[in-house]
Amino acid sequence: MKRFEFKKSLGQNFIKDENIVNKIVSSASIDKDTLVIEIGPGAGWLSKKIVPLSKNAILYEIDTRLKSVLDKELSFCNNYELIFTDVLKADICNDIRKYDFKKLYVVANIPYYITSPILKKIMYEIYPDKIIIMVQDEVASRLAAMPGTRDYGLMTVLFNSRYNIKKLFKVGKNSFVPVPKVDSAVVEMVKDSKYEIKNENFFDKFISDIFQYKRKTIRNNLKGYDLDKISLILDKYGYSLSDRAENIPVNVFVEIANSLS
Ligand code: SAM
């Protein structure tokens, strides 16, 4: 790895702190029933600890210069598949089809320049049982935010309606090589079906409309919706159309969307 030229354009900040790697691995609780997907294995510093614990692993890496180092780091394992491609273009559902597994996990220190598309791909396409993911600290705060706080928004609701989310721990810049500009954090998301969303497409559209302008009231963001019906449900929980979406808990959004769809 000594002469490796890190590409900023590919978000290449590798974790050099072994304690952090170990903490990520132990939070994932991977076992021999688990198929693990890793996005951006880099030089394999995380991969070489998660692959041997798993039943199988599929690693998606865009940078083919990392092939020899990954082959070497993982030479003691034969239960993984290394796919050199842009993960956003990968047909992951098809790639996992040939494996037999009880649990599907995503474990990754992702490239931050495509955080949003990666998170969306994970939730909408892969929909794994568990996600252990390193993201920018501010993204972690948004994912795990509580209603009524500045960080609570569209992303919080979309993910919390399907996953139980915890920000596990912060990771300082100096744990990476090269040192990035931002701090990071590891987030745990565990699939949760406590909310029964009747129509997923409608729900997502409704949530993106209600959060369209953060400073506007629900009434003003939801022109064209059945406001009387919405008002009745809000009222039941002590809210009104004059509130902002950032104050409303996920269960209330689900109930409203289900009643409208
Ligand atoms: N997992 C390694 C670690 O923790 O040390 C590396 C993490 S580094 C933040 C992100 C990795 O994602 C890099 O190896 C980079 O080459 C890879 N990457 C960047 N864009 C990608 C893409 N579109 N598809 C797949 N991998 C990508």
Testing ligand 1's pocket by substitution, the residue of 6, 62, 84, 125 carrying the most ligand atoms inside 8 A of its CB is 62
Q: Quick check: 82 and 67 in contact, CB under 8 A? A: yes
What is the residue type of 241? L
* 131 CB near ligand 1 (under 6 Å): no
- At residue 46, the pLDDT reads 98
Looking at every residue in the chain, the average pLDDT score rounds to 97
How do beta strands 163-171 and 34-39 pair?
unpaired
Model-level pTM? 0.96
pLDDT mean over 120-148: 97
* 44 CB near ligand 1 (under 6 Å): no
pLDDT band at 3 (very low <50, low <70, confident <90, very high): confident
Residue 98 in 3-state DSSP? coil
Q: If you measure from the C-alpha of residue 35 to the centroid of ligand 1, how many angstroms do you get, rounded to a whole number?
A: 19
